[in-house]
Each structure stands twice: as C-alpha cells, then as structure tokens.
Amino acid sequence: MEGHTRVKLLTYADRDMMAIDLAQKLAGELTATLMHEERALLVVPGGTTPGPIFDALCAADLDWNRVDVLLSDERWVPADHPRSNTRLVRERLLVGRAAAARMLPLYASADTPELALAQLEQVIRPYLPISVALLGMGDDMHTASLFPDGDNLTAALAPDAPLLVTMRSPSQPEPRISLTARVLREALSLHIVITGAEKRAALGRAKDLPPEQAPIAALLDDAMIHWVD
Ligand SMILES: O=C(O)[C@H](O)[C@@H](O)[C@H](O)[C@H](O)COP(=O)(O)O
C-alpha cells in the first residue's frame, strides 16, 4: 500500500490459518517477554473478530501464570451481558492453559464509566507498559473505542493522554471505556487484525487521513496489520 503512512500488512489464505498463525506469533512474543521480565501484559480486543484467535491462543504452551490480560476497551455493560468484552475473554481466552492467566478489570459495577475510571486506572497502571497488544478495527476506522464521532476522541489521541478515557458515540448503544492511543502506541509489540474487503478498503483510506477522522491512523506506524478476506 502507498500513502503517507507505510502500512505493514500480512495477508492470510483463510481465517483458520490466520487464527493459528497469529496465535502462535502472540504466544511467541509473550514467551520472549517472559524470558527477561517477571510478568507480561497482553492486551486484546473485544468484538466478533478475535474469538477464533482466542480459541487457538488459549492452548499455547507458555507460562500463563505470569501473564496479565487486559481488554483494549469495554462496553459499559455487566460482565455477564452478551455484549460484554470481559465475558468474551473469560469464555474464549481464559480457558485451557490460559486459564492460569490473570485478567485485569476494565469494568466495575458503577452506573457510568466516569465513576470507575480513576479506580480502574489505579489498578492497571502498575502493569504498564503493554508487552503485546492485539487490536481490532471497525469499518468506520475506529480501533479500541476510539470512534471518529466519539465525544472524547481529542483527549484519547493527545500525546500526553491519560491511561483511560470514557467514550460515547452515536453509533454505539452503550458508553465505553478505552485505552488511549498513547498507551497503545507504547506497546512493545502491536498487532491489528482485520477481516473482509470493507475493512481492507477502510484501512486503505485511513492511511491518508488524520487520526481525528480515522483513529486507527494514530497506530499504523507502529503496528503490523493481519488481514484475511
Ligand atoms: O468492543 C469492541 O467492539 C472492540 O474492542 C472494537 O474496537 C472492535 O475491535 C472493533 O469494533 C471491530 O469489531 P469486530 O471484530 O466485531 O468487527
């Protein structure tokens, strides 16, 4: 791809192959981190794309009891809600060998994310920086919960952004909480997974747009993109 940002793109033959290869890559990076660090912090997305990757990753043979798992973003719904990303991670990633990992919270039972933000930041901060991050992307070029029409996008993209922001978008049924672009960019290894022609086209547009219009653009210099049709 050409444009002002050079996109590093890996294309896979089919979805099963991508899930297996990507899970192996993430597991290898976690293992490498654990060779010189006491613990590793793995950030993962919610949504529909990562399930098959979690299914492969949870079987990886590594020292999961030294791995902390954190979501890139969460929808403000209880952890047993069908739209909860926490629920997805518990059901699809923290099973099998990976059940030994520790999940850091990105949700607390409070009416709004604003009420829990400071407390969640305090819990998460000691675990930074992120060792390995996997992110998703929407057709609208959002990543994590950094939506182009999000009410807190400017703060989320600032070079000195806090760890977490709350986010509301007219396109979303509930408020969100999200890691900021700065924190995601500081990940030692950053992967973005996208599927289908529409997201590939959106990525092509994003590389020539400012992050205020295409939030994923804030991360493209630092990330490896994994794509399958
Ligand atoms: O909670 C979420 O929705 C995510 O973390 C979000 O950033 C997701 O990665 C993209 O929206 C892609 O979602 P799909 O994988 O469902 O297309």
Number of domains in the chain: 1
Neighbour-count burial of 169, counting CB atoms closer than 10 A to its CB (0-12 exposed, 13-18 middle, 19+ buried)? buried
Q: What is the pTM of this model?
A: 0.97
Let me know how long the chain is. 229
Task: Please choose, from the candidates 91, 74, 93, 70, the residue with its C-alpha nearest in 3D space to the C-alpha of residue 83.
Answer: 74
Q: What pLDDT, on a 0 to 100 scale, did the predictor assign at position 5?
A: 73
Q: How many angstroms from the chain centroid is the CA of residue 71?
A: 6
CA of 218 to the centre of ligand 1 (A): 17
- Residue 174, in any domain of the structure: yes
- Residue 208, in any domain of the structure: no
pLDDT at 17 over 50: yes
pLDDT at 3 over 70: no
| Nearest residue by C-alpha to atom 6 in ligand 1 | 144
- Among 53, 142, 146, say which to mutate for ligand 1: greatest number of ligand atoms within 8 Å of CB: 142
For the chain, the C-alpha Rg in angstroms (whole number) is 16
- Residue 167, in any domain of the structure: yes
Given a contact cutoff of 8 angstroms between Cβ atoms, the answer to whether 178 and 144 are in contact is yes
Assess whether the C-beta atom of 47 lies below 6 angstroms from ligand 1: yes
Q: What pLDDT, on a 0 to 100 scale, did the predictor assign at position 25?
A: 98
- Residue 214, in any domain of the structure: no
Q: Which CATH number belongs to the domain containing residue 62 in this structure?
A: 3.40.50.1360
Q: Which two structure tokens, joined as six digits, stand for 119?
A: 């407390």
- Among 83, 137, 147, 174, say which to mutate for ligand 1: greatest number of ligand atoms within 8 Å of CB: 137
Given a contact cutoff of 8 angstroms between Cβ atoms, the answer to whether 124 and 165 are in contact is no
In this prediction, the answer to ipTM > 0.90 reads yes
Residue 143 Cα: closest atom of ligand 1: 7
pLDDT at 177 over 70: yes
Over residues 193-206, the pLDDT tens digits come to 999 999 999 999 99
- Residue 211, in any domain of the structure: no
Average pLDDT over residues 106-119: 98
Assess whether the C-beta atom of 46 lies below 6 angstroms from ligand 1: yes
- Residue 109, in any domain of the structure: yes
Given a contact cutoff of 8 angstroms between Cβ atoms, the answer to whether 154 and 192 are in contact is no
CA of 127 to the centre of ligand 1 (A): 23
Taking CA atoms, 19 is separated from 14, 49, 50, in Å, by: 9, 10, 8
Assess whether the C-beta atom of 49 lies below 6 angstroms from ligand 1: yes
Q: What pLDDT, on a 0 to 100 scale, did the predictor assign at position 6?
A: 83
> Residue 225 forms beta bridges with which residues?
9, 192
Average pLDDT over residues 170-185: 98
Q: What pLDDT, on a 0 to 100 scale, did the predictor assign at position 4?
A: 60
pLDDT at 54 over 80: yes
The answer to whether the bond into 82 is cis (omega within 30° of 0) is: no
Q: What pLDDT, on a 0 to 100 scale, did the predictor assign at position 2?
A: 41
pLDDT band at 1 (very low <50, low <70, confident <90, very high): very low
Residue 75 Cα: closest atom of ligand 1: 1
Over residues 124-173, the pLDDT tens digits come to 999 999 999 999 999 999 999 999 999 999 999 999 999 999 999 999 99
Assess whether the C-beta atom of 85 lies below 6 angstroms from ligand 1: yes
Structural domain boundaries, residue 158: 8-196+223-228
Over residues 35-45, the pLDDT tens digits come to 999 999 999 99
